[in-house]
Amino acid sequence: MSHLYPSVLACDVTGRPHDWLSWEDSITLKVKGAISYEIGNPDILARGGISRMTGTQSQVDVSSIICLKGVFKRKDRVVLNNHNLFRRDLSLCAYCGKPFPESKLSRDHVIPTSRGGKDTWMNVVTSCKGCNCAKDNMTPEEADMPLLYVPYVPNHAEELILKNRRILACQMDFLRAYLPEHSRLL
């Protein structure tokens, strides 16, 4: 049944996005009184048992964006892995500009690691396997393969977008407000 409902975007009391929750966890938090306020209309309705005293069925509804009581420490670093990298770069090769399925992509180090380049967000781009082989152990300038876009470190809102494939329109609109101007996820 959990596949019927989307993930719920959990924010802290200030409204800053924090993490994705299952709809079951969000219902539990609402029943426990841990939600400070909700944004938007209720998107999720959970029904419970029938009361012996009233004969009515219990129900709890919750919005797809909730703000929990308290302020949370936010992770400063988005995990660098190929999946997040390819999503950050929209599965576009940084050298030929063509889109590819994930199976045809690789992580390219702008300054090769064998030449002192680091495995960091600012030194990696998505590359198709053909371009990565052609560039080999050279810099883009040496290979005469200029970068079509600049690498950058995604922020926390971008990480939340990268983590979830089933984002509701209202959740995406909410997260867009937290994206930097240079984000390719806009």
Per-residue pLDDT at 45 exceeds 70 = yes
Highest mean pLDDT among 22-31, 105-114, 166-175 belongs to: 105-114
**pLDDT band per the 50, 70, 90 thresholds, residue 2:** very low
What is the CATH architecture of 82-135? Orthogonal Bundle (1.10)
- Euclidean distance between CA atoms 166 and 159, whole angstroms: 14
Question: Could you tell me the CA-to-CA distances from 13 to 35, 40, 68, 93 in Å, in that order?
Answer: 9, 15, 5, 39
Count Cβ atoms below 10 Å from residue 101 Cβ, excluding itself.
8
Confidence of residue 163 (pLDDT cuts 50, 70, 90): confident
Rounded CA separation 45/102 (Å): 36
Joined tokens for residue 172? 């995406």
Which tokens belong to 53? 């005293």
| Domain regions of the chain by residue span | 2-75+165-176, 82-135
Give the contacts of 47 (CB within 8 A, at least 6 positions apart).
57, 58, 59
pLDDT attached to residue 3: 53
